[in-house]
Amino acid sequence: MDEATAERAVLRRAPADLIAAIDVGTTKVCAIAGRKKARGGVEVMAHSVVSSRGIRKGTVTDVQASAEAIREAVGRVETATGYKIESAFVGVTGAHITFENRRDKIEDTAHPGVITADSLAGEPEQFTAVDRPGRQMVQAVRVSYSVDGEEGIRNPIGMHSDKVEVDTHVVSGMSGLIDKLEDAVELARVHRSSMVMEPLASSMAVLTPEERENGVVLVDIGGGTSDIVAFEKGKIRYTGVIPVGGYQFTNDIAMMFHTHYEAAEKAKLQCGSAEVYSSRDNQDITFPVDGREMDLKVKGGEISQLTRQRAQELARLIGIKLDQADLPESTRSKMVLTGGGSNLPGLATLMQSILAVEVRNGVPGDAARLPDALKDSAYATAVGILLWAAANDGPAPADAEAAAVRQGSEENDRKGIMQNVLGLFGKSKPSDTQTSETKKGRI
């Protein structure tokens, strides 16, 4: 009996309401499994975090190595839950990701003259192709509808018209790089349910409905990239990726002091800061140096100077992206930082000073109940992917009929903001391995 057969013999088949999320990052792979609740929400069953392999700046460079890391993370969740994870929602990012805001006509209606859920469920014919060769659609998010020329309608169900258009935020990426990610997931013996744009997932975990409505920019500083998503009047307006993340902060230290990555990462966590003066500036840091028998001793202030300079550069790059996005001042005046890189002391204050905007740190669980282990900015993307999965994988079995009844109700209209944000057309060296499993946390 081979390893795969033995594994399946021990694990039980997952129930229909079990969902899984995988965040394949530059520095870590995080897998989470949960069960959808009949009245909404998700019960987190287990999660696992392992060091990433074969990933650079958010994209897969070694399919085999990446698959092994994914398999390890998913395997630990399977062991903790006792269930076989057959499929999962997978996050995607990278500098190759771009977006387009477009409008398409919905040709057919299920009932002439009346807009129904069925008539909005289809995919416009023009929509399936991405104009630029070598690229493919990752995700398409319905922003709003236009009915008989009236724009900005969030939920047109029940209205009377034969002319309905949909405004959509279309995210695309390089086909070859997306294929590599899919290959790694499949090689790990997991079926990819759907791709989820990572900053959009993170926004679900850390932003409030009020922030989306009033206008906000979310910056998710991960291991290899910093992902940006902007909302205005409850609608997604912009997504972008900067190929700078926590890895570059650590690499600066490794290059400056000719040491290895693990020692540089430890120094960053111990003394890294974006503050001009840090309480840890006078601490002594010792590095092993390549080609030398004796270790090198430096002050913490030298570490914080490097991390502050990299933080300043990142702030300027974010400012350039936002200038190019041509967002209204009301939208870009409020910023939320999340992702593991946002934990750098003093970073929010530095961003606020350089970009002249209000800044706060976003942590999963601010507006949702989570296991304590996941209440960290580093897990915003993984938690957000699970929330996305819960919202887009169909209702829990016991709630299916009730959900159908509610579809055209006033409650549905009030929730139109999030439903349009969630409207998905199609499927659409770090520190040592860390693992954590949590029972019965609730989102």
pLDDT in tens, 186-197: 999 999 999 999
Percent of the chain at pLDDT > 70 equals: 82
Q: Is the pLDDT of residue 427 over 70?
A: no
pLDDT band at 123 (very low <50, low <70, confident <90, very high): low
Whole-number average pLDDT of the chain: 83
Q: Where are the domains of the chain?
A: 98-174, 209-365
Between 63 and 419, the higher pLDDT residue: 63
Distance between CA 279 and CA 141 in Å, rounded? 45
Percent of the chain at pLDDT > 90 equals: 52
Task: Tell if the pTM clears 0.85, that is, is over it.
Answer: no
Task: State residue 280 phi and psi, 5-degree precision.
Answer: -100, 10
98-174 CATH pick, 3.40.50.2000, 3.30.1490.110, 3.40.50.2300, 3.20.20.70: 3.30.1490.110
What pLDDT, on a 0 to 100 scale, did the predictor assign at position 153? 84
The mean-pLDDT minimum among 99-103, 109-113, 380-384 falls in 109-113
Q: Do domains 98-174 and 209-365 have the same CATH topology?
A: no
Q: Is the pLDDT of residue 354 over 50?
A: yes
pLDDT in tens, 70-86: 999 999 999 999 999 99
* Helix-strand-coil split of the chain, %, nearest 5: 40, 30, 35
Q: Is the pLDDT of residue 128 over 60?
A: no
Out of 96-100, 150-154, 337-341, the most confident range is: 337-341
Distance between CA 407 and CA 149 in Å, rounded? 24
Closest to 14 (Cα-Cα) out of 74, 71, 76, 87: 87
H or E element that contains 303: helix 300-325
Q: Is the pLDDT of residue 130 over 90?
A: no
Between 72 and 409, the higher pLDDT residue: 72
What pLDDT, on a 0 to 100 scale, did the predictor assign at position 113? 73
What pLDDT, on a 0 to 100 scale, did the predictor assign at position 146? 85
Q: Is the pLDDT of residue 343 over 90?
A: yes
- Nearest-5° Cα angle at 50, 47 to 55: 125
What pLDDT, on a 0 to 100 scale, did the predictor assign at position 131? 62
What pLDDT, on a 0 to 100 scale, did the predictor assign at position 394? 57
What pLDDT, on a 0 to 100 scale, did the predictor assign at position 204? 92
pLDDT in tens, 24-50: 999 999 999 999 887 777 889 999 999
CATH class, 209-365 region: alpha beta
What pLDDT, on a 0 to 100 scale, did the predictor assign at position 22? 97
Q: Is the pLDDT of residue 350 over 70?
A: yes
The mean-pLDDT minimum among 69-83, 100-114, 126-140, 416-430 falls in 416-430
Between 107 and 229, the higher pLDDT residue: 229
Distance between CA 187 and CA 300 in Å, rounded? 43
pLDDT in tens, 200-212: 999 999 999 999 9
pLDDT in tens, 137-188: 888 888 888 888 788 888 888 888 778 888 888 888 899 999 999 999 999 9
Q: Tell me, what DSSP letter sits at residue 274?
A: S
Residue 235 burial class via C-beta count within 10 angstroms: exposed 0-12, middle 13-18, buried 19 and up: buried
For every residue of 149-171, DSSP letters joined together read: TEEEES--TT-B-S-EEEEEEEE
Tokens of 247: 């890895």
At residue 336, the 3 state secondary structure works out as strand
What pLDDT, on a 0 to 100 scale, did the predictor assign at position 369? 62
Q: Is the pLDDT of residue 122 over 90?
A: no
